[in-house]
Amino acid sequence: MKKKIVAYNRVEQPVLDDLKEKYDVRFFKNVDTKNDPEFLGHLSESEGIIGLGTPIDAELLDNAPNLKIISNVSVGYNNLDLGEMNKRNIMGTNTPGILTDTVADAVFGILAATARRIPELDHFVKNGEWQAEAIGEECYGINIHHKTLGIIGMGRIGKAIAQRGHFGFDMDILYHSRNRKPDAEKTFDAGYRELDALLEESDYVVMITPLTPETEGMIGKREFQKMKSSAIFINGSRGKTVVEQDLIEALENGEIASAGLDVYEQEPVASDNPLLTMKNVVTTPHIGSSTHETELSMSKLAGENLEAGLRGERPPNLVNPEAFNENE
């Protein structure tokens, strides 16, 4: 009898097809994982979960007595309650490395789009508002080159963003992270700063930290008031690293110039969110890793993680080794 697996959201079809040849796989998309009877019925007999964004907590795990591994199709794993998983010897995995350049491309694209007001001016042209050959200052943007880029979180993606800014746009790079990064300091001539100093000195502030208890709400009213009034804020990390209402007020009050956002406190964004009506805000729907090539590579790696765990082996990208050690 084939082992049962739950697949949930954003598992690419070639990987899903491959898994279905080997396992009894049921795919679910955007269902209520706490109340959907079909999901819970299959979960109760499943040994593995693969997918994106499924909240894993004690309540869900109580319905999954046979579960051995949860394979996230993402680098982040803040949806996993690792403490509960460790108690039950359930392994968790992620897909690091693959999406580094893709996310950095997206973040820098959002930065450029915000600085040069590209979405706003695209509508300006398409709506027939471009009436004179020479545009006026109402269409002017802000330079990127030779400005100061402050990066909060100098991990793989932070370094890739620094690379683009330093070598591509001759930007001065500042960074703040839990630990100093000598390699980034050498390669990108990056300067380490305490958070307040980074906020005060940077023309562009890019948030690219994981969501942890330490980073939740890390940027709020006080931090926005530290920034230059001409600063542009970019969030490519997780929505809850920022106090969204404080961001809205900072934009409304002119404490910062503009923002580019790929992530939000609530996703999808509520239609009445004030950010959606602000001309000085560029919004994208959490597109960080969303290219055909990257999504397929992430799904493949998640599949490898899943199958290793089902075989009782240590998965390549195990995030809670305690669970595996206890299984040995």
The count of structural domains within the chain is 2
Res 304 pLDDT > 50? yes
Confidence grade of residue 325 (pLDDT, cut at 50, 70, 90): low
- Residue 179 tokens read as 């630990």
- Residues 216 and 309 occupy one common structural domain: no
- Strand 69-72's sheet: what is its strand order? 24-28, 4-8, 48-51, 69-72, 91-93
Cβ–Cβ < 8 Å for 151, 134 = no
Instruction: Indicate the average pLDDT of the chain.
Output: 95
Residue 129 lies in a domain: yes
Residue 176 lies in a domain: yes
- Residues 62 and 112 occupy one common structural domain: no
- Residues 177 and 67 occupy one common structural domain: no
d(CA 44, CA 290): 31
Res 273 pLDDT > 70? yes
The CATH number given to whatever domain includes residue 184 is: 3.40.50.720
Q: Compute the average pLDDT of residues 231-242.
A: 97
* Catalytic center residues: 238, 267, 286
Q: Count the neighbouring beta carbons within 10 Å of the beta carbon of residue 134.
A: 5
Which pLDDT value is given to residue 1? 83
- Residues 28 and 48 occupy one common structural domain: yes
Residue 288 lies in a domain: no
Mind listing the pLDDT tens digit for each residue in 129-173? 999 888 989 999 999 999 999 999 999 999 999 999 999 999 999
d(CA 40, CA 13): 23
**DSSP letters of 244-280?**
HHHHHHHHHTTSSSEEEES--SSSSPPTT-GGGG-TT
- Residues 92 and 107 occupy one common structural domain: no
d(CA 272, CA 87): 41
**Domain of residue 64, residue span:** 4-98+293-327
Res 328 pLDDT > 70? no
pTM: 0.87
